Amino acid sequence: MNATPTPATSRGEQAKNTLISAAIAQFGEYGLHATTRDIAALAGQNIAAITYYFGSKEELYMASAQWIADFITHNFKPHVERAEAILRHRPSDKIQIRELIHTACDHMIVLLTADETLNLSKFISREQLSPTAAYQLIHEQVIAPMHTHLTYLVGRYTDRRPDDTETILHTHALLGQVLAFRLGRETILLRAGWSAFDKDNVKLISDVVHSHIDFILQGLSMERGKTSNEK
């Protein structure tokens, strides 16, 4: 995992990457109130470089959103491809579905407890609360496809329609099991007496989330079974 732009061979690409990295940090902290002067200073670049490479602060903001979308896509591509393969087969292999949901959530936990991705989370959190065109970009390219795949997996496991609003809500609530450790980062560090999310702590979080996922999947399956029997 590397939450900073990869080193580029050309000086121009390197300058663009350092500007995007600085921009994500500044935009994550201050939104569009971040100044180009502060972004350039953090990147160690001349302020004119932003105009040269991106045109404007707004275009740099969109370039930052695109970088985040590409980063998430790259990290979750194996999970998406495996989900597509599993969903193509019927009858459903529920053991495989459960395992894939677990591993996808494990990967999310690793990403969301890493200090390197904190600026990305701040950027996306701001967009969730006050969406701009940047959120639409990230949503369409990354969040919607991943959310849809997970909803289909939950629906297939629990014998529920994946396009049903309740299935979508249950899936979103399941994701909340993971997101709580990013959005409630300081709370859990203080409550657990941890100074940071080290390897052992992340493993403990994963184990707890696994058990919660299983409770949710089993509970929804049982509820669905009771509903079918009543009919």
The pLDDT tens digits of the residues spanning 28-57 come to 999 999 999 999 999 999 999 999 999 999
Phi, psi (5° rounding) for residue 118?
-60, -40
77-90 pLDDT, tens digit each: 999 999 999 988 88
Average pLDDT over residues 95-101: 95
For the ranges 2-11, 96-105, 154-163, 179-188, the lowest mean pLDDT is seen at 2-11
Average pLDDT over residues 185-195: 97
- Radius of gyration of the chain from its Cα atoms, rounded to whole angstroms: 20
pTM of the model: 0.89
Query: Which tokens sit at 52?
Result: 């040269």
Range 101-135 burial, b when 16+ CB lie within 10 A, else e: beebbbbbbbbbbbeebbbbbbbbebbeeeeeebb
Over 90: is that where the pLDDT of 231 sits? no
Closest CA to 202 of 190, 191, 189, 187: 189
Give the pLDDT confidence score for residue 3 in this predicted structure: 67
**Which amino acid would we find at residue 191?**
R
Cis upstream peptide for 91 (omega within 30°): yes
Average pLDDT, the chain: 93
Q: Which CATH number fits domain 62-230: 1.10.357.10, 3.30.70.260, 3.30.70.270, 3.40.30.10?
A: 1.10.357.10
Q: Where are the domains of the chain?
A: 62-230
Q: Kindly report the CA angle at 100 between 94 and 104, in degrees rounded to 5? A: 150
Distance from C-alpha of 41 to C-alpha of 19, rounded to nearest angstrom: 9
Give the pLDDT confidence score for residue 4 in this predicted structure: 59
**Residue indicated by tokens 């459960």:** 98
212-229 pLDDT, tens digit each: 999 999 999 998 765 555
* pLDDT-derived band at 9, boundaries 50, 70, 90: low
